[in-house]
């Protein structure tokens, strides 16, 4: 009996019916649904023991004290460390994203060298041999080797600058910042000693002039903690805050008052306040006080200040009255975006604090001892801060300074984050052999010939000593929380090893030993751990603390070493002669608007682009699609025919950029507020090509009298496109 | 004519039954064998040697951490307390010591009761139950049983399905709300 067509159909139907009584359809459907939930690219959790390791995150310039939560040894989240006084349990937006940035797609996988337009991965030994070869050719020839560091507060500068010095090079520069300008003014122009800081915690009235202290200036999280401690919820505020600057920044928004002042007029405004104090009999015991008095009484009268900065005399007088009435007033000056502010503003701010008798007083301006040096060959701190990178690069661009043969860049992005950035990038591009120690493929790394990635901040030994703005000396240690996620090597260890191979003795075998020596020297200075007593309470006499016995052990537990020691001044000056030339703005009719750049840490910093997890914190009036926004007030918008959302071109003397317009009364007339942190051309898909780079339109001028390079108050013209 | 019709009808029924039978055989016997791939553990670990021979207790290796989380299978850190170097003559031990411990690699053990990441299961909350109510008892086992991996879903054959969780919760008057297990 054969199987005919009808029989075959019966067989198939029987098979189908029979299948319904088997697990096949039900199991298949079930497993298929599970399969669709488990695509191979979905990351899997790593289970394991949960732990917390205290360290310092250096994603931001000041550094945040963090407890890194690990699961099975793998970092998963950053939490604030309440036992460390640097940030007191808080976190800035960059350090909050620190763990995520360990796994950023823009991380460099290992040492690489350029081959035409791409990079080829090489071994660390090959990289060291290649660099040693290039460096040997520069030995003893000053000007042939230059280094740029993006870390203002770390001991790694001693290793790198000591190495440079041993090779006969003196061109070692930090990326620009207010800390350097403050040092140049205090230890240079004013003949002072030590590092200037501000005891915010003990002040009862703080006037921020320019410095956006609660958003991005100085040790931001500590500033925020001081602010919140003085404004307890439901209680009477213990301190008042006033912000003076061209934009109602986030600092201004929470202060008791915002005084709009043009960015180029901040020094004149400050000297205008000095006028009232001097008029009321205030004086400072310096040789040039009479010259200073003559200067402010003749050139910074309320009427003249009104002409210079457009501020009503009554407003200025009312402000000076508040300062006079406060028991512990404090003036904190700085650039709105933490760099390029000029010496006149810093000198005027220091003079105002001195006139109020606030030097080395609780709640005042504090002159603190510098960190002890442990690498003998390294640059002294004062000399390090005195060097001006922007001036050096401008001279190189104009052919006034020799172009080095080798440039080494540590954790800095000068191609992106310097004023008139396109011109700066051209100057840097002329250097024949460029080396980057960046963790990420930033704009500078993309231009370099040799990439020697240093581990992420949470994967290495590092430290931070008294970031600019802190009101007490502090030192904290960063230690590796996990092994580097990529084939990275600590730049300090690499340098020490390279030095040894080149027969240069820097006195240490590895960076951990350098930091141990630093801890030992700090221990010899006295000081205490801040978990025993808050340093501001020790300074005011409200608490006392026993001297720290073993700084290294305590630092490894995540404690910050602190000191409230002050430095007495011997031959202080007010710099009156220089101020007379430097402080007054000069109008430029070709470029009628002043740019006020805003640095918001959620968007990024000089050296870090926007972390992917922070993208959702950017408002649609800051970035929409591929366009970033500049902000102007209604009066400025009306004057130039601008409407909300209009696309405009901002043109400065050395560059231009495009943006959309947002109209807001947070910006004073005659000013364009422009965000920093957008317009990256490297990094990753999360940041590349989003918005335009405001650094392009910041133009550098030379401050009369001081020769300081200045780019606050950069001038632009605006046109619809 | 009529005879031919009867033959056709019976032939049709036979074909139908043959189809049913074939489907049942494939569905109940062949399909389960094809669906799961049989895999062996990377190291032939003997519970018998450790539990009986060395008098070790279960929670010497399968313990709760200080924070209450369950350690699950021991890692090199735990195994290395004894097996820093090869102790005996068992090739499985030698393989572990030389290929994993001394190389700093964790053993990729195959987890019989593997649950996906979207299931939040707390061993601590189920401490009152005996381990063997959910896990096979391997305490006397000299050679680990084969691991059967579902070729479609990728899960272990022994992965507990959600209906079993729900049934036990219902029987013990514990909430079966989604968020209890899926955070």
Domain ranges of chain B: 1-38
CB contact at 8 A, A618 and A611: no
- Top-ranked range on mean pLDDT: pick from A200-214, A308-322, A572-586, A697-711: A200-214
CA distance A92 to A210: 20
A75 to chain B, closest Cα gap in Å = 17
A38 interaction partners in chain B (CB closer than 8 Å): 116, 153-154
How far is Cα A538 from Cα A523, in angstroms, rounded to an integer?
18
Residue A46: the pLDDT is 83
Task: Select from A5, A8, A22 the residue whose CB has the most chain B CBs within 10 Å, as the one to mutate to test that interface.
Answer: A22
Q: Exposed, middle or buried: residue A429 (CB in 10 Å: 0-12, 13-18, 19+)?
A: exposed
Which residues fall within 8 angstroms of residue B58, CB to CB, at 6 or more apart?
B51, B131, B139
Name which of B19, B150, B152 is nearest A10 (Cβ-Cβ).
B19
Q: How far apart are CA A661 and CA A640, in angstroms?
A: 12
Residues of chain A with C-beta less than 8 angstroms from the C-beta of B7: 1
Question: What pairing do the DSSP bridges indicate for beta strands A433-436 and A450-451?
Answer: parallel
Mean pLDDT, all residues of chain B: 90
B171 Cα to chain A: minimum distance (Å) = 24
Does residue A57 contact residue B181 with C-beta atoms inside 8 Å? Answer: no
State how beta strands B36-39 and A50-57 pair: unpaired
Of the candidates A465, A562, A556, A486, the residue with the CA atom closest to the CA atom of residue A53: A556
Pick the residue from chain B with its C-alpha nearest to A35: B153
To the question of domain A112-177+370-563 being in CATH 3.90.1150.10, the answer is no
This prediction has a pTM of 0.88
Q: B92 to chain A, minimum CA–CA distance in Å?
A: 25
Q: Which two tokens stand for residue A10?
A: 């019966």
Task: Report the CATH fold assignment for A50-102.
Answer: N-terminal domain of TfIIb (2.20.25)
Which tokens belong to A307? 């002409």
Which residues of B lie inside 8 Å of A (Cβ-Cβ)?
7-8, 11-24, 26-28, 31-32, 35, 65, 67, 69, 71-72, 75, 116-118, 150, 152-155
Contact A13 B21 (CB under 8 A): no
> How many residues comprise chain B?
183
Is A586 buried (19+), middle (13-18) or exposed (0-12) by CB count in 10 A? exposed
| Residue A14 near chain B (CB below 8 Å) | yes
Chain A partners of B12 at a C-beta cutoff of 8 Å?
Answer: 6-7, 10
Distance from CA of A18 to the nearest CA of B (A): 4
Contact status, residue A631 vs residue A249, Cβ threshold 8 Å? no
Token pair belonging to A59: 């994603």
Burial class (CB in 10 A: 0-12, 13-18, 19+), A627: middle
Among candidates A263, A129, A347, A253, which has minimal Cα distance to A701? A263
Find out whether A565 and A473 touch, Cβ atoms under 8 Å. yes
pLDDT at residue A39, as a whole number? 85
Q: If you average pLDDT over each of A5-9, A219-223, B67-71, which comes out highest?
A: A219-223
Instruction: Please give the average per-residue pLDDT across A81-101, as a whole number.
Output: 95
Q: Would the CB atoms of B19 and A17 count as touching at under 8 Å?
A: yes
A50-102 and A179-368 share one fold? no
Name the nearest CA neighbour of A288 among A370, A190, A196, A382. A190
- Identify which has the larger pLDDT, A427 or A309: A427
Mean pLDDT computed over every residue of chain A: 94
pLDDT at B6: 55
Name residues whose C-beta falls within 8 Å of residue A457's C-beta, 6 or more positions apart in sequence: A56, A57, A58, A59, A98, A439, A478
Residue ranges per structural domain of chain A: 5-35, 50-102, 112-177+370-563, 179-368, 588-720
Between CA A61 and CA A599 the distance in angstroms is 12
Q: Which residues of B touch A52 (CB under 8 A)?
A: none
Distance between CA atoms of residues A110 and B26, nearest Å: 54
- Region A629-640: what's the mean pLDDT? 97
Mean pLDDT within A172-182: 96
Q: Write down the CATH number for the domain with range A179-368.
A: 3.40.228.10
Q: Do A22 and B11 touch (CB under 8 A)?
A: no
At A333 the three-state DSSP class reads strand
Q: Of A561, A553, A511, nearest to A531 (Cα)?
A: A561
Among B8, B15, B27, beta carbon nearest to A22: B27
Measured between beta carbons, the chain B residues lying within 8 angstroms of A28 are: 152
Provide the percentage of residues in chain B whose pLDDT is more than 70: 94
Which SS3 state, helix, strand or coil, does residue A257 take?
strand
Strand partners, A53: A68
Q: Does A50 touch chain B (CB under 8 A)?
A: yes
In this prediction, what percent of chain A has a pLDDT beyond 90?
A: 88
Report yes or no: A23 at the B interface, CB cutoff 8 Å.
Answer: yes
Range B105-130 burial, b when 16+ CB lie within 10 A, else e: ebbebbebeeeeeeeeeebeeeeeee
- The pLDDT score that the predictor gives to residue A189 is 94
Confidence of residue A308 (pLDDT cuts 50, 70, 90): confident
Crossing angle of the two packed helices A313-325 and A266-279, in degrees rounded to 10: 60
Taking the CB of residue A389, how many other CB atoms lie within 10 A of it?
22
Q: Is the pLDDT of residue B8 over 60?
A: no
Q: Report helix, strand and coil shares of chain A as percent, to nearest 5.
A: 35, 20, 45
CB atoms within 10 A of CB A267: 31
List CB contacts (< 8 A) between B23 and chain A.
Answer: 14-19, 21-22, 24
Contact A662, A631 (CB under 8 A): yes
CA B104 to chain centre: 26
Whether A38 and B154 lie within 8 Å, measured CB to CB: yes
Other CB atoms within a 10 A radius of the CB of residue A329 amount to 22
B112 secondary structure, DSSP code: T
Closest CA to A453 of A107, A100, A160, A101: A107
Give CA–CA dist A50/A100, Å, rounded. Answer: 17
CA angle A470, A472, A474 (to 5 degrees): 90
A 10 A CB-CB count for A318 gives 12
> Would you call A21 an interface residue with chain B, using a CB distance cutoff of 8 Å?
yes
Smallest CA–CA distance from A37 into chain B, residue: B153
> A588-720 has which fold?
Barwin-like endoglucanases (2.40.40)
What local confidence, expressed as pLDDT, does residue B67 receive? 84
Measured between CA atoms, the residue of chain A closest to residue B22 is: A15
Strands (DSSP E) contained in A398-537 are: 406-410, 433-436, 450-451, 462-465, 473-478, 528-529
Tell me the mean pLDDT in the region A286-302.
Answer: 95
Chain B hits for A16, Cβ within 8 Å:
19, 23
Mutation target among A5, A13, A24, A39 for the B interface, most CBs of B within 10 A: A24
Which token pair is A612? 């992917």
Establish how many alpha carbons lie within 13 A of residue A170's alpha carbon, considering only the half-sphere containing its beta carbon: 9
Q: Pick A19's closest partner by Cβ from B27, B150, B154.
A: B27
| pLDDT for res A190 | 96
Residues within 8 A of B (CB atoms), A 462-481 only? none
Q: Are A560 and A84 in contact (CB under 8 A)?
A: yes
* Strand A715-720, strand A365-368: pairing: unpaired
**Token pair for A671:** 């000013």
State the nearest Cα–Cα gap between B13 and chain A, in angstroms: 7
CB-based contacts of A437: which residues, under 8 Å, 6+ apart? A408, A409, A410, A411, A452, A453, A454, A491, A494
The burial of A490, by beta-carbon neighbours within 10 Å (0-12 exposed, 13-18 middle, 19 or more buried), is given as buried
**Cβ-proximal residues to A518 (8 Å cutoff; 6+ apart), any chain:** A155, A371, A372, A374, A463, A475
Question: Is the CB of B19 less than 8 angstroms away from the CB of A12?
Answer: yes
Give start and end residues of each alpha helix (H) in chain B: 2-25, 31-35, 47-48, 58-61, 76-79, 91-95, 162-171, 178-181
Partnered with residue A74 across adjacent β-strands are: A71
Q: Which of A8, A19, A36 to mutate to test the interface with B (most CBs of B within 10 A)?
A: A19
Give A409 to chain B, closest Cα distance, Å: 35
Structure confidence by residue, pLDDT tens digits, A538-552: 999 999 988 888 999
Q: Which two tokens stand for residue A319?
A: 């402000």
Would you state the pLDDT for residue A255? Answer: 97
CA–CA gap between residue A712 and residue A708 (Å, rounded): 12
Sign of the C-alpha dihedral computed for residues A691, A692, A695 and A700 taken in this order? negative
| Residue A82 contacts B, CB cutoff 8 Å | no
Widest pairwise Cα distance in chain B:
87
Q: Is the dihedral of CA A618, A621, A627, A630 positive or negative?
A: negative
The answer to whether the CB atoms of A22 and B23 lie below 8 A apart is yes
Closest CA to A332 of A467, A222, A511, A199: A199
Q: Of the candidates A488, A619, A456, which has an alpha carbon nearest to the alpha carbon of residue A55?
A: A456
Whether the CB of A7 is below 8 Å from some CB of chain B: the reply is yes
- Give pLDDT tens digits for A239-275: 999 999 999 999 999 999 999 999 999 999 999 999 9
Helix (H) or strand (E) holding B65: none
Q: How much is the pLDDT for A590?
A: 85
Binned at pLDDT 50, 70 and 90, residue B136 comes out as confident
pLDDT reading at B139 higher than 60: yes
Query: B89: distance to nearest CA of chain A, Å?
Result: 31
What was the pLDDT predicted at A38?
Answer: 81
| Record: contact B12-A22, CB cut-off 8 A | no
Whether residues B18 and A44 touch (CB distance < 8 A) is answered with: no
Q: Which residues, other chains included, contact A207 with Cβ-Cβ below 8 Å and sequence gap of 6+?
A: A241, A242, A243, A244, A319, A323, A329, A330, A331, A332
Interface membership of A41 toward B (CB under 8 Å) = no
Angle between helices A5-20 and A24-35 (to 10 degrees): 60
Residues from chain A contacting residue B65 (CB–CB below 8 Å): 49-50
Inter-chain residue contact A22 with B153, CB threshold 8 Å: no
pLDDT of B183 reads: 84
Would you call A29 an interface residue with chain B, using a CB distance cutoff of 8 Å? no
A-chain residues near B67 (CB < 8 A) = 49-50
């Amino acid at each position: 009996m054969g199987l005919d067509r009808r029989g075959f159909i019966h067989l198939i139907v029987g098979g189908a019916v029979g299948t319904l009584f088997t697990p096949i359809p039900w199991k298949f459907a079930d497993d298929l649904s599970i399969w669709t939930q488990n695509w191979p690219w979905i990351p899997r959790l790593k289970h394991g023991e949960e732990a917390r390791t205290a360290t310092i995150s250096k994603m931001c310039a000041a550094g945040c004290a963090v407890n890194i939560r690990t699961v099975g040894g793998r970092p998963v989240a950053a939490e604030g460390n309440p036992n460390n006084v640097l940030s007191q349990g808080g976190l800035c937006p960059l350090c909050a994203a620190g763990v995520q940035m360990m796994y950023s797609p823009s991380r460099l996988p290992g040492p690489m060298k350029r081959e035409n337009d791409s990079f080829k991965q090489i071994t660390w030994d090959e990289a060291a041999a290649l660099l040693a070869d290039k460096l040997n050719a520069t030995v003893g020839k000053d000007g042939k080797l230059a280094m740029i560091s993006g870390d203002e507060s770390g001991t790694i500068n001693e290793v790198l600058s000591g190495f440079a010095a041993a090779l006969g090079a003196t061109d070692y520069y930090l990326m620009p910042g207010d800390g350097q300008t403050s040092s140049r003014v205090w230890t240079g122009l004013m003949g002072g000693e030590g590092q200037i800081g501000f005891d915010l915690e003990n002040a009862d009235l703080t006037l921020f002039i320019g410095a956006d202290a609660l958003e991005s200036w100085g040790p931001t999280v500590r500033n925020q903690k001081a602010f919140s401690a003085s404004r307890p919820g439901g209680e009477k505020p213990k301190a008042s805050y006033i912000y003076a600057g061209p934009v109602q920044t986030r600092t201004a928004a929470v202060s008791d008052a915002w005084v709009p002042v043009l960015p180029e007029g901040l020094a004149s405004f400050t000297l205008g306040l000095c006028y009232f104090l001097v008029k009321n009999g205030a004086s400072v015991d310096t040789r040039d006080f009479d010259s200073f008095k003559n200067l402010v009484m003749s050139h910074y009268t309320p009427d003249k200040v009104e002409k210079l900065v457009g501020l009503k005399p009554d407003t200025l007088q009312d402000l000076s009255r508040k300062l006079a009435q406060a028991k512990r007033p404090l003036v904190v000056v700085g650039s709105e975006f933490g760099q390029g502010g000029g010496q006149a503003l810093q000198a005027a701010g220091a003079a105002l604090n001195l006139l109020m008798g606030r030097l080395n007083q609780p709640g005042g301006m504090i002159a603190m001892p510098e960190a002890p040096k442990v690498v003998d060959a390294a640059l002294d701190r004062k000399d390090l801060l005195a060097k001006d990178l922007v001036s050096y690069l401008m001279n190189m661009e104009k052919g006034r300074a020799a172009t080095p043969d080798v440039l080494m860049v540590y954790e800095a992005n000068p191609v992106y984050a310097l004023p008139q950035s396109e011109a700066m990038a051209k100057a840097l591009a002329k250097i024949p052999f460029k080396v980057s120690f960046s963790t990420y493929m930033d704009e500078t790394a993309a231009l370099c010939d040799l990439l020697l990635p240093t581990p992420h901040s949470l994967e290495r030994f590092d430290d931070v000593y008294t970031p600019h703005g802190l009101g007490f000396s502090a030192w904290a240690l960063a230690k590796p929380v996990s092994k580097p996620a990529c084939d990275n090597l600590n730049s300090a260890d690499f340098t020490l090893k390279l030095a040894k191979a080149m027969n240069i003795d820097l006195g240490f075998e590895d960076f951990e030993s350098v930091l141990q020596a630093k801890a030992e020297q700090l221990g010899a200075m006295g000081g205490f751990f801040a978990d025993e007593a808050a340093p501001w309470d020790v300074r005011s006499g409200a608490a006392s603390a026993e001297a720290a016995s073993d700084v290294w052990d305590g630092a490894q537990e995540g404690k910050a070493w602190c000191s409230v020691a002050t430095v007495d001044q011997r031959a202080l000056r007010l710099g009156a002669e220089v101020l007379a030339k430097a402080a007054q703005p000069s109008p430029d009719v070709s470029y009628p608007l002043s740019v006020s750049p805003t640095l918001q840490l959620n968007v990024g910093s000089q050296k870090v682009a926007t972390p992917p997890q922070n993208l959702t914190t950017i408002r649609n009036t800051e970035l929409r699609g591929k366009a970033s926004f500049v902000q102007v007030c209604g009066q400025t918008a009306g004057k130039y025919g601008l409407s909300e959302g209009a696309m405009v071109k901002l043109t400065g003397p050395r560059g231009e950029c495009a943006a959309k317009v947002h109209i807001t009364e947070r910006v004073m007339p005659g000013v364009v507020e422009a965000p920093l942190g957008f317009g990256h051309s490297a990094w990753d898909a999360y940041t590349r090509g989003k918005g335009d780079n405001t650094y392009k339109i910041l133009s550098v001028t030379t401050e009369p009298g001081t020769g300081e390079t200045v780019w606050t108050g950069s001038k632009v013209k605006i046109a619809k496109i | 004519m009529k005879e031919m019709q009867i033959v056709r009808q019976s032939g049709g029924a036979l074909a139908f039954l043959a189809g049913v039978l074939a489907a049942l055989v494939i569905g109940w016997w062949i399909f389960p064998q094809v669906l799961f791939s049989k895999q062996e553990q990377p190291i032939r670990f003997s519970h018998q040697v450790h539990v009986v021979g060395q008098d070790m207790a279960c929670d010497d290796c399968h313990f709760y951490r200080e924070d209450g989380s369950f350690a699950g299978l021991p890692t090199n850190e735990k195994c290395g307390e004894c097996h820093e170097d090869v102790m005996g003559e068992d090739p499985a031990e030698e393989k572990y010591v030389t290929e994993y411990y001394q190389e700093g690699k964790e053993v990729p053990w195959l987890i019989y009761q593997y649950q996906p990441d979207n299931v939040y299961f707390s061993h601590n909350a189920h401490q009152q139950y005996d381990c063997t109510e959910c896990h096979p008892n391997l305490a006397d086992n000299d050679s680990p049983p084969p691991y059967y991996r579902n070729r479609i879903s990728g899960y272990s054959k022994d992965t507990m399905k959600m209906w079993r969780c729900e049934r036990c919760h219902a029987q013990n008057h514990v909430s079966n709300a989604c968020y209890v297990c899926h955070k």
